[in-house]
Amino acid sequence: MNKNYTYIITGCTGYVGNMLTKKLMDLGYDVIGLARSKEKVERVFKENKPTIIYGDIRNKEDLEKLFIGDKPFIIIHTVAYVSIGEGDMKELYDVTVGGTQNMIDVSLKHNVYKFLHISSSEAIPHKVKLNKDLSNYIPTPNKTRKGYNRAKSEADVAILKAVKENNLNAALLLLAGVLGPGDYSNTHMTQVIIDYINGNLPASVNGGYNDFDIRDVTDCLDSIISNSRKGEAYIFANKPDKINEVIKYVSDMTGRKMLPTLPMWIAYVGLPFLWIWSKLSKQRPLYTSSSLASLKADTNFPLDKVKKEFNYSPRPLKETVEDHVKILIDNEMVKL
């Protein structure tokens, strides 16, 4: 019975973290969440909060406070400094790599039954085509792009090292592009949608990725907890898509005109100007060289393993985008 454990969710107010936390609470499980902002906890959870420990993933003393009670623990580690290449590199590594190592170190001192590490498809080494069983997913930092991709790869290395050397019962959950309700942080794709609806997006780019609905993971979360295996990697995604496909669904729903589409080479030419604009405006750039590289990558990920072992079933992208936009409208995050 999965109720026999206490669940610790790091990053419980983040996009993935809050959706997993809410699902566990809906299932009646005991949940302890690590958060940094009281304001965001109130905004995300309102009256229905898990037990909250305020702290920083970079501080082991804060992490020790998460281990409350006598039941064995299941860790779901979602904290990462998510970046498309525009952020502070020291903070990126301190949070994503150092924070993961801290959580491993503290977990090894306690009665941890399972450790689920939320990773990213961006950690897949360059030009590696995954097997159906992901047996060839070997995190190799020097074969990934610098920045977020490499940091996530290094975090995966740390997890697998703990599996091998310390017998940590840990699994890697690699996520592709996350969409759907639950984004209280305005992650990159959410901001693109907001800018498009509000008339602040001048053009689209001729590229795409692989976007899936986070609710499709929460729908099979209980099975993931029960059936994920030590040292294994699992990828959650949908089908490859195009940015213009997402924008078309938003356009159909809101009546906004479709945008002109820039060829990739023009997008690359514009990079220095976007960088200057982002520094002057103190806003995230629309895209970076790292995000453009992602838009050109092979994102036809094999889902055989998660479908078979967890009954994972990704819903149509159109439904995901429409529900995502509805939340933005209902919360007055866009102007129609």
Domain assignment present for residue 48? The answer is: yes
Range of the domain at 113: 2-180+211-237+300-314
Question: What is the percentage of the chain residues whose pLDDT exceeds 90?
Answer: 74
Average pLDDT over residues 110-129: 96
**Whole-number pLDDT of residue 206:** 83
Domain assignment present for residue 137? The answer is: yes
Domain assignment present for residue 90? The answer is: yes
Domain assignment present for residue 217? The answer is: yes
d(CA 116, CA 92): 20
Band (82; pLDDT cuts 50, 70, 90): low
Predicted confidence (pLDDT) at residue 222 exceeds the cutoff of 90: yes
Band (5; pLDDT cuts 50, 70, 90): very high
Domain assignment present for residue 249? The answer is: no
pLDDT, tens only, 266-314 = 666 666 655 665 666 666 666 666 665 655 667 899 999 999 999 999 9
Domain assignment present for residue 97? The answer is: yes
Number of domains in the chain: 1
Average pLDDT over residues 121-125: 94
User: Who wins on pLDDT, 294 or 143?
Assistant: 143
Give 229's contacts (C-beta < 8 A, 6+ positions apart).
171
The amino acid sitting at 157 is V
Band (2; pLDDT cuts 50, 70, 90): confident
pLDDT, tens only, 171-208 = 999 999 999 999 988 888 898 899 899 998 888 888 88
Phi, psi of 323 (to 5 degrees): -70, -35
Domain assignment present for residue 91? The answer is: yes
Domain assignment present for residue 247? The answer is: no
Question: What is the percentage of the chain residues whose pLDDT exceeds 70?
Answer: 88
**Residue 232: how many CA atoms within 13 Å on its side-chain side?**
15
Check if the beta carbon of residue 180 is closer than 8 Å to that of residue 241. Answer: no
Q: How far is CA 133 from the centre of its chain?
A: 21
Which of these ranges, 132-136, 142-146, 215-219, has the smallest mean pLDDT? 142-146
The secondary structure element, H or E, covering residue 241 is strand 241-242
Average pLDDT of the residues of the chain: 91
**Whole-number pLDDT of residue 210:** 95
- CATH number of the domain encompassing residue 143: 3.40.50.720
d(CA 323, CA 190): 12
pLDDT, tens only, 227-239 = 999 999 999 999 9
Quick one: which of 323, 313, 308 has its CA closest to 246? 323
d(CA 322, CA 318): 6
Check if the beta carbon of residue 78 is closer than 8 Å to that of residue 11. Answer: yes
Which of these ranges, 8-17, 89-98, 113-122, 201-210, has the smallest mean pLDDT? 201-210
